Amino acid sequence: MPDYRRNRVPGGTYFFTINLLEPHRRLLVEQVDALRAAVRTVRDKQPFHIDAWAVLPDHLHCLWTLPPGDADYSRRWKAIKTAFAKVVPRVESLSDVRCAKGEHGIWQRRFWEHTIRDELDYAAHMNYICFNPVKHGWVERADWPYSLFHRLVRAGVYLVDWGGGEVEGVFGERGGD
C-alpha cells in the first residue's frame, strides 16, 4: 500500500488541488452552491481561513490558513467531500470497488497539498489560483465568476485588469477575508 506523507504545520497555510474523479465534467460549477454550503458547514465546525479559491468545472484550487495549533486539513477535506457528495445527484459511473465500499464516484480519493513556505511562495500560489481559469481557457482575464479574485480586487491585492503577470508589486500584506 502506498505511504502518503503529508507535511503538517500547525497554523500553517496550504495550497490544495482537488479533482473530480471523472475529468471534463462540469459538476463543480453546476453545483457550486452545494459546494459552497459544504464548505460553510465544515468551516463552522472546523474553522479555517480561505485566502484564495477558484472552482473550475472539474477541479478546484485554494489556499487555506489553519488556526494556531491545528494542522488537520485532511479531516476538513474529507468532511467537505462527504457533505458535497450527499447532496448532488448520483449520476457518475462507479467501479466495482467503489460500489462495494458504498462510495460515491465524484472525487478522486487523494488531493494535492503544498505547505506555503514564505511570502513569495504564497504570492506565486495566489497568482496560480487567480490565473488558472485563464490557463484553462474559461476566461480571457482573471475575472472567473467562481473564484475569490473579485474580493481580492476589492481588498486592493490585485488590479481589476490583472492577467497573471509578475508577482513583484502585486502583493503587500496578505488579502483580507
Query: Pick the catalytic residue: 14, 73, 146, 158?
Result: 146
Hey, what amino acid is at 10? P
Q: How far apart (Å, rounded) are the C-alpha atoms in residues 135 and 56?
A: 11
Q: What nine digits make up the cell of 43? A: 468551516
Catalytic-residue membership of 146 = yes
The strand ranges marked E within the chain are 13-19, 49-55, 59-65, 112-115
Report how far apart, in Å, the C-alpha atoms of 34 and of each of 9, 82, 83, 85 are: 29, 11, 9, 9
| Coil, helix or strand at residue 77 | helix
Report how far apart, in Å, the C-alpha atoms of 118 and of each of 112, 114, 174 are: 19, 12, 11
Report how far apart, in Å, the C-alpha atoms of 33 and of each of 20, 56, 84, 88 are: 16, 13, 10, 10
The pairing of strands 59-65 and 13-19 is antiparallel
Residues marked active site are found at 146
